[in-house]
Amino acid sequence: MSQILDLVGIFVFALSGALMGVRKRLDAVGMLVLAAMTALGGGVVRDLILNVRPIAFQSLGYILVPVAATVIVFFWHPHVARVMPAILVLDAAGLGLFCAVGTEKALEYGLNPLHAALLGVVTAVGGGMLRDVLAGEIPTLLYDRQLYAVPAMLGSGVMAALSSSGLHGWPATLAAALLAFGLRITAMRFNWRFPVARGVAE
């Protein structure tokens, strides 16, 4: 079940990467690169830091899902763009899932709660950062005006805190993921923004 949820999150992230490729007028190869980086980049970086073989290279599904997402966007990107509100909801779910699972995996490999939470954030937003850099955009993490990284930080922190309190397994993962998901959805619903420096125009 966890792998299925993981692949669903990867699929949604890959859609956003491929759509970025369409906006940047990239060819099919460029779209696939952005899709794969968005979907897999955070997890790969996390696993490399943990000095383990990235999970993306242990199952064929982790490679085929970004390919499938790219094909869908390549042929039907106007339709995909029209259902972006639904995709953003799924993206928020993927954000919550990845930050919780990433933190949990880091804890399993012996990292302290703070470092584990940081790796949880990397898992959730690292792929998006790589996508933005490759596409020539300022990474969202550096101007979190739409509260994207903040929910990941909160979810990862809660996951680390629950684990430190002796709460493990799917209940803790679900609680942390739902918290991050809820904050992200609420920020989207009410258009919450982080402030910029005093005196700087919005």
Q: How is residue 202 annotated by DSSP?
A: -
Q: Which token pair is 32?
A: 């696939």
Distance CA 32, CA 45 (A): 19
Distance CA 35, CA 64 (A): 11
Hey, is 64 helix, strand or coil?
A: helix
- Output the pLDDT for position 41: 95
- Output the pLDDT for position 7: 86
Which range is most confident: 3-12, 23-32, 49-58? 23-32
* Residue of 64, 167, 44, 149 lying closest to 113 (CA atoms): 167
Distance CA 76, CA 80 (A): 6
Higher pLDDT, 200 or 6: 6
Q: Which token pair is 193?
A: 């923004």
Question: Predicted confidence band at 144 (pLDDT cuts at 50, 70, 90)?
Answer: low
pLDDT tens readout for residues 93-138: 889 999 999 999 999 999 999 999 999 999 999 999 999 999 998 8
pLDDT at 145 over 70: no
Which of 50-64, 140-154, 173-187 is the least confident region? 140-154
Question: Tokens 């910029």 — which residue?
Answer: 196
Question: Predicted confidence band at 1 (pLDDT cuts at 50, 70, 90)?
Answer: low
- Output the pLDDT for position 202: 63
Average pLDDT over residues 13-20: 91
The sign of the dihedral angle between the CA atoms of 19, 78, 146, 161 is: negative
> What is the tally of helices (H) and strands (E) in the chain?
7, 0
Question: What distance lies between CA 182 and its chain's CA centroid?
Answer: 15
CB 44 within 8 A of CB 54: yes
